[in-house]
A and B are shown apart, each in its own frame.
Chain A
Amino acid sequence: MLSEAPLLSLLIWLPIAGGLLVLWMRDQEAAAERIALIITVAGFLISLYLWAGFDPNQTQLQWVESVAWIESLHIYYALGIDGIALPLIVLTTFMTIPVVILTPSSVSQQQSFYLSAFLIMEGLMIGVFSATDAVLFYVFWEAMLIPMFLIIGIWGGANRIYATIKFFLYTFLGSVLMLAVIIYLYWRSGEFSIWAWHGMHLSAKEQWWIFMAFWAAFAVKIPMWPVHTWLPDAHVEAPTGGSIILAAIMLKLGAYGFLRFTLPIVPDAAVALHGLMIGLSLAAIVYIGFVALMQEDMKKLVAYSSIAHMGIVTLGIFLPFSMATLGVGVDQEGVLLAVQGSIVQMISHGLVSGALFACIGVLYDRMHTRQISEYGGIATSMPMFAAFLVFFAMANIGLPGTSGFVGEFAVILAAMHANFWVALLAATTLVLAASYTLWMVKRVAYGPVKRPAIAMLADLSWREGLVLTMLAIPVLILGIWPAPLLQVTEPAVHTLLEPIFGL
């Protein structure tokens, strides 16, 4: 039976093997690209099969694999997914496809090496989402960064080394602390299974320290205020594909870490520190919203917008703890809505920010600048592109009918269950996101043609059109009918929160 087949392993190792194969084909770039495309599409189809064979109503992990790795230390090569990991895996396999398609237009040198870095990274990221053994998780978590460093460091812009090292320093600090915690938890429990740690008995003081260490690892990735300043630099220097993956998938890893580790392992610390977490999330939404408004570089603007949108995600994750302290009994509606909303927001942000970075890449390939002030009147020469830009801008704003609305709306509604003022501050995103996004659209796409060079621009190539179309479709579907996604996540979220809040 295919349902017994180690499909998760296949999803992880197929792209990695493919990446090594492509790496070896240095001189045949066209063939390398074709192979990369076949592998990524195959990966996507496998992940869809995974979804089709996934039973959302079953609360246990599915597609489980387990092989002893280092037996003396109880380290297993253990994989398995629930309804939270599954959509993120599908997102990963899906978002790698546009990167491959856009490669010839966005990178001019060492294309096969570039492709292989992305393929290997895809496999490693899927590994992070599917690992159920903490050591395996950590290995994937760290290894995944290496291709990204290379992508920014080799194909990046003028300031790439600065950006890479800043990125490295931030993430390394967090990772070291996470490793320490993993080892501590092993020392306490005698095993490395993440699921065995859930609901472990830990004193308040232990929980506090573990929470902080996890926070350092995950908050940097998301990134939360105030450890966010690496992200705009990394984005500005990264090539288009790097930005797409960074925004679409890597930022989600932090939020995934919160859901997988922090919430179930140290819930008491989360209750104690929820005020801080909600405060930082709101800072991301409000403060970063204002910062995004004034950006002059398109990539920085979308990078700051990502931080603000991820603020909604972390807000949704920590809101239930705020409700738990209200003393009126946790109401199920608010808790489920908050966490489900933040998962939908993660998926949606992956699609929308990826698409916006692709849009910026389209412009950069033509004009070799990302300064907003250099543009103006693009809609005249590139009407098709402008239509996509406005569409994704509206999704970024969270217009109903696009995926951007679903998570944002759910989290704001849930925030009201906790506290009026939290909801009020969270809802400022409606105004702020509209302001910074539309101001950019106005200055880039609308108005009279600013320079003769703009009048000469060619509209989307078929590759670019294909990429933007394939990104637009799920954005619309999730906006009109998010039920399929919500049906998968709901039981998993329920299972996750049940022991914490006694739903």
Chain B
Amino acid sequence: MKWLCLAVVIPPLIASIVCGLFGSRMRREWSHWLGVIGTIISFAASLMLLRALVQQEWQPADLTLYVWGFNPEWGFQVGFMVDALSVTMMLVVSLISLLVHIYSVGYMAEDPGYARFFSYISLFTFAMLMLVSSNNLLQLFFGWEGVGLVSYLLIGFWYTRPSAVTANMKAFVINRVGDFSFVLGIAILFSAYDTLAFDRLLGSAGALAQMDLAWLPKSASAQEWACLLLFIGAMAKSAQIPLHIWLPDSMEGPTPISALIHAATMVTAGIFLVCRFSPLFETAPGTLSFMLLIGASTALLLGLVGLVQTDIKRVVAYSTISQLGYMTAALGASAYAAGLFHLVTHAFFKALLFLAAGSVIIAMHHEQDMRQMGGLRRKMPITYLTCLIGALSLSGFPGFAGFFSKDALIEAVSASTVPGAQIAAVILLFSVFVTALYTFRMIFLVFHGEPRHDASHVHESPHVVTGPLVVLAVFSLCAGAFLAEPILFSSPMQNAIPMAAHGGMRHLADHWEGPAAFVVHGLFSPAVILMLAGIVTAWLFYGGAAARGQRLLSKFKPAQWILDRGWGFDALFMNFFASAGQKLGVRLWHGVDQNYIDTGMVMGTARRVRSMASRVSSLQSGYLYHYAFVMIIALFMLITWFGFSFVL
């Protein structure tokens, strides 16, 4: 099984190294074949891993490959934890990565950085697989930072664009703010348990509450500190308020990347982390409520921002943030499995929407403004249909994958006993309306109405692009019905993510009568009604002429003003934190280092040195030789002198 795990993670790494080192010297096709074959092997090995897991009756396997360093007891190691959770993630990651690799063959066809691109996405796949398969916090953090690195490299893929290189730095630094907290969380766990290995950390998760930790502030319990800090780390990666501001800007990267990294996989790493540590989070009710608050507000507030975007990719980006908010809220309600389920279905339909948007962008010759589009459905039937499926799935139309996960999620949240869950459920419910509204605003603006551009050159994308769309559309349509039971209620998954005490999942399980009954029951649920209302509203304002939508917005000037600015989070970070940091840097440098330490403290040494230096420099550099010899002689004389004084 160890070999199987290696077969999952290593092939993309090899592909990446070969493409990265020799990409410029080998034929173009080789780079994509390497990447595609690498991810095919990963996916196949993940499937075999699943089979192996079934054969051993879902007994989780904890395999350590080698000890990275320090005392082996401490768990600084490289190894794999094979259970239902990690295998689910491996399958999702390798499958989406494979489809994105194939899609990129078409999307990146004309880019001069072809080999570099494939090297990066293969490296990403490796890092993400290392993250999800890890059996310890060290390797998880390695993957965590690895995906962050590749995200940085890919957002800045077109490195001559000033906006791209600003965005990638912002993404990295904001993520580092999260990592700052994440590392502190890891440090608390390590200091308490003296290990980073999952089996011992999670096996005795409850023990943290009994420990007397002298070094920790007493304002909260140890488990609250640890969970809160881990969660703040997850907030940056999974783009939760207020650390979400890097994600919209990350759209500067090539579109396949937005699908793979900034929608389907990397941004869900935070959700995965909390699922992995669910036994620990269960003991921290304060953090759970905090997660509910953050998740629900992210879902609603950033969904609203999606309403005013004009760039097609940014609509989908804000939608991603909003959906991540749903997942976070589910985690907060301690309905971890529901969060994971939404993660999986979201990976399919959001990757689909991004790739469809990419298909539109190619057809429009890299025009991303939806106001310049319109009427594309006749020209691009496959893209239109698949995109529509993705949109319906995202909105939660009964029967689609997104419906199962979202309805289950909302129901689990509303039945949860975590303080604040009821309010969160109401917010999430209202967000369903917002989701449907912005999604179908996009659909209508892009595909319906009259073309607002020169449509003569627009044509459907090549098969290599539409193929992955169709595959993802199938998953977005069907995955929900098939995966609901295995992910939400199966005992293997409950081994990995124990069913929590806070009621939500229990309630869901008690009322579960199979997928068909769930659809029928859902038909009359408030969520579906709100979703339909959202679609109808979108139709009313954007279905026909775009002018009507503009009129609507002009009636809500203040709302639009604040939404255009994304609630001002960006301005807060850039104008307050970034510039305050810079001002502080200047003040410390000039004010303290130069004026105080250099001139003042060392008794004006600097000034004296300067005047000495000006005198010395007139003596030629030959002075230095003398000076050096004087020093050596002085040194030996000193030793001798001291020596004699002792002897005498």
Contact = CB atoms under 8 A, between A and B. Distances in A.
Interface of A: 70, 72-73, 75, 135, 138-139, 142-143, 146, 149-150, 153-154, 159, 161-162, 164-166, 169, 179, 183, 186-187, 226, 229, 287, 290-295, 326-328, 331, 333-334, 336-337, 340, 377, 379-380, 390, 394, 397, 399-401, 405-406, 409-410, 412-413, 415-421, 423-424, 427-428, 430-431, 434-435, 438-439, 442, 445-449, 480-483, 485-486, 490
B159 A379 contact: yes
B637 interface: no
A78 B44 CA distance: 62
B624 A153 contact: yes
B162 interface: yes
Contact of B173 (A336, A377, A416, A431): A431
- The size bracket of the interface on B is 35 or more
Interface stretch (B334-342, B474-482, B560-568, B582-590): B582-590
A439 B169 CA distance: 7
Interface stretch (B429-437, B494-502, B549-557, B628-636): B628-636
B160 A72 contact: no
Interface of B: 66-71, 74, 138, 141-142, 145-146, 149, 152-153, 156, 159-162, 165-166, 169, 172-173, 176-177, 179-180, 183-184, 186-188, 190-191, 194, 214-217, 225, 581-582, 584-586, 588-589, 592-594, 597-598, 601, 605-606, 609-610, 612-613, 616-617, 621, 624-625, 627-628, 631-632, 635, 638-639, 642-643, 646-647
Given A143-B632, A166-B609, A416-B188, A448 B215 contact: no
Given A294-B585, A416-B187, A431 B180 contact: yes
Contacts, number: 203
Contacts of A420: 184, 188, 215-217, 225
Nearest to A163: B613
Contacts of B592: 287
Contacts of B613: 159, 161-162, 165
Contact of A149 (B160, B214, B628): B628
Given A337-B74, A418-B215, 19 more contacts: A72-B647, A138-B639, A139-B639, A149-B624, A165-B616, A287-B592, A290-B585, A291-B588, A336-B70, A399-B149, A415-B187, A416-B191, A419-B215, A420-B188, A430-B176, A434-B176, A438-B169, A481-B69, A482-B69
Chain B residues touching A, majority SS: helix
User: 10 closest A-B pairs (Cβ-Cβ)?
Assistant: A416-B187, A294-B585, A446-B165, A400-B142, A162-B613, A290-B585, A293-B585, A486-B69, A482-B69, A434-B176
A19 B583 CA distance: 47
B180 A428 contact: yes
A446 B581 contact: no
A401 B146 contact: yes
B166 A442 contact: yes
B142 A377 contact: no
Contact of B142 (A394, A401, A430): A401
Contacts of B145: 399-401, 405
B621 A153 contact: yes
A324 B15 CA distance: 49
Contacts of B141: 400, 409
Contacts of B225: 420
A446 B152 CA distance: 12
Nearest to A172: B631
A490 B169 CA distance: 37
B157 to A, nearest CB: 11
Nearest to B638: A179
B601 A73 contact: no
Nearest to A397: B176
Question: Which of A326, A410, A416, A420 has the most CB atoms of chain B within a 10 A radius of its CB?
Answer: A416
Contacts of A442: 165-166, 169
A396 to B, nearest CB: 13
A333 B646 contact: no
Contacts of A187: 646
A346 B70 CA distance: 17
A413 B191 contact: yes
